[in-house]
Structure formats: structure tokens, C-alpha cells
Amino acid sequence: MNIIINYLMTNKKQNGLFLILFVIIGLYSVHLLGEFSSAKGTVTGDNQDKVFVMYAGSLVKIFEEVIGPAFQSESGYPYVGEGKGSVQVSNLIKDGFRTPDVFVSAGTVPMTRLMDTTPPLVDWLLKFGSAEIVIAYSPSSPHFGDLERARMGEIPWYEVVSQDGFKFGRTDPELDPKGYYGIITADLANNYYNDSTIKDRIFGEDRNPKQIFPEETLKTVLETGSLDAVIAYKHEAISRDLPYITLPKEINLGDSTYSDLYKLANYTLKADQKTIYGEPVDFSITIPKTVKNMDGAISFVNFILSKNGSQLLESQGLNPINITSEGNTDDIPFSIKETIP
């Protein structure tokens, strides 16, 4: 460095040219050093150590406003989340369009579909919480009075939501578990109320285009007043402070006591002809083979299973359950196994 400076001082005519060249070389060297350091992981950049979590769209508000920030604060890992219908997430992973570190699903079917691929894209899953189906509705709906009466049990809820002109919303059963869980709930309602017309009166066809909305935007559409009511999970209604109608335990898929009864209804996915039977709605989590940040992924799973994570989820309306596993449990990372009661 001193040699270069002395040369510039004794060759004044070329000072300008060499000074410019010196600055350019210096800046380029700094750039190369930064690139090298980032590659080694010693410099924190925009993509350093991020944990990419794909999750069921019903968890958007909870994960983006509660879970993500809490995890990032506690662990130090930058959190990046994306919510979509769980079946859609499994399709994106299967087709190579997404490579998440962690996958959180409504139900287990979206994950077991990835266990069945060759080679498997998921080896194991852990169930960590449960939900129940409710009817969430808009405070600005012109049918608000009737919906309130239905909430209090004064009139049948299905008579209100099947009225002419009632704008009802739900998700696509081919892309989102809540979509097929809603259909299963309506089928169970036919039997429970001894009225075989309920499902058709409320939904029309299974994929009625007038009622189908993307999972990640359905509640927003409801909140704008464009819909009167939607099929929702209880935790969605609670986290968004929406009024909702509680359905009987025999049909809301929220009570394991009625597991055998729930199985009496089903829906068959058109894409792979997989028949899905009614079941308690459990949320599950896994680290798929697409993981790029294994340490961060393990940290996120442990956070979800931790006492703090469980309490945060419960505060948002997701019911805690005893953690259970499916698949090849030998492949569950040891540090995660240690956290399972």
C-alpha cells in the first residue's frame, strides 16, 4: 500500500489515472471478499440462515403475526413463511416448484402423499394440534341478524346459509383440506339432521365456482364484506376476531370421541383418486427432503412443539393434543425426538 502511495506522489501527471484505477481495484476486492465471506456464512446477508416454512393457509395470520416473529426472536433465525392450501403445497413440493425447510399441514393426507412418491419427499410427520370446523361470518353481512340467531341456537344454521342470495365461501377441495373437510361436514350434517338435502342446498356442486376461493385469501374476502359466511377452522375465526357458529361435535371434526362417526363421510380427490375419510382435523409438521437449512428447520419444529410455541398456538384457538408420529420415525432428528413427551 505504501509503495503505491509513494508512486502516486512522485508521478503527478498520472496521479488521476492511477488513483481511479486504485479505487476500482479496491472496491472490487471488497466485493470479492464480501462474496467469499457470505459463501462461507460469516457475513449475515439477506439470505443467510433463513428458515423457509410452508404452511396451511388457515395459519397465515397466526404464523406471520405471532409464530414467525416469536420464533425469529427466540432462535435468531430469520423466518420466511408462505401459506397455501396444504394439498397445493404438497403439489408444489412434489413438482419441484417449492423447496421449503419445514412443511406444516392441515391433516396428514398432504404429507402422506409425499411419503408415497419415489423417492419419498417426506419420511415422517408429527401431529401437534387440532382444529374444528365452524361457520365464520361477516359482521357487515345483510344476514347478520339471522346468523346471530343461528349462533345462539334459535334457528338452524343450515337454513340461514342456504337462503337465496346468501354469499357463501369455501376453499377448493382439490387443493385444500378445509375444502374437503367442509364437504365431509356437510355430508355428516345430512345424516345428523336427517335431511339429505342440506349439503346440496348449501354448496350445490362440490367445486361450485361461485363459492371457491384460495385458502390464503378466503378470510380477507369475508372481512371485506364480499361474502356473508365461510367454512373456517375455529382458530381462524378467533385469530381474526370474527363471529362464528359452533357446529355439533358429531359433525365438526373436532372431537376424537366421534372418530368412527366421522369416517361415515368421505371425499375422493380427482387428481389421484385418493379417497379421504372424515377424521378429527389434526395439524402436522415435518422437515421434507427439500430442506436446505436443517439446523434452522429443527429449531423451528422444536419451537412449535415447545411449551412456548404450544401456548401461542392455543392462544390463537388451535387446540393442543398429545404429540404423535407417523411414518419412518427412525428418521426424526434426535434433538426433535428429545422434545416429544
The one-digit pLDDT tens for each residue of the chain (341 residues) are 444 444 444 444 444 444 433 333 343 343 333 333 333 333 334 445 899 999 999 999 999 999 999 999 999 999 999 999 999 999 999 999 999 999 999 999 999 999 999 999 999 999 999 999 999 999 999 999 999 999 999 999 999 999 999 999 999 999 999 999 999 999 999 999 999 999 999 999 999 999 999 988 898 899 999 999 999 999 999 989 999 999 999 999 999 999 999 999 999 999 889 999 999 999 999 999 999 999 999 999 999 999 999 999 999 989 889 999 999 999 999 999 988 87
DSSP state of 47: T
SS3 168: strand
Cα–Cα distance list, 236 to 68, 178, 242, 244 (Å): 16, 12, 8, 10
Number of domains in the chain: 2
**Domain assignment of residue 118, given as a range:** 51-131+282-337
Give start and end residues of each alpha helix (H) in 177-282: 177-192, 198-203, 218-223, 234-239, 259-262
- Residues 80 and 118 both lie in one domain: yes
Domain boundary among 277, 302, 326: 277
Residue 57 lies in a domain: yes
Question: Quick check: is 110 in a domain?
Answer: yes
Domain end point (choices 251, 277, 303): 277
**DSSP for residue 337:** H
Q: State the Cα–Cα distance between residues 282 and 132, nearest whole angstrom.
A: 9
Q: What is the value of pTM for the model shown?
A: 0.80
* 137 and 273 co-located in one domain: yes
| Spatial CB neighbours of 327, under 8 Å, sequence gap ≥ 6 | 112, 115, 122, 123, 124, 125
If asked whether residues 120 and 156 sit together in one domain, one would say no
Closest CA to 55 of 66, 43, 44: 66
Q: CA 328 to CA 269: how far, in whole Å?
A: 25
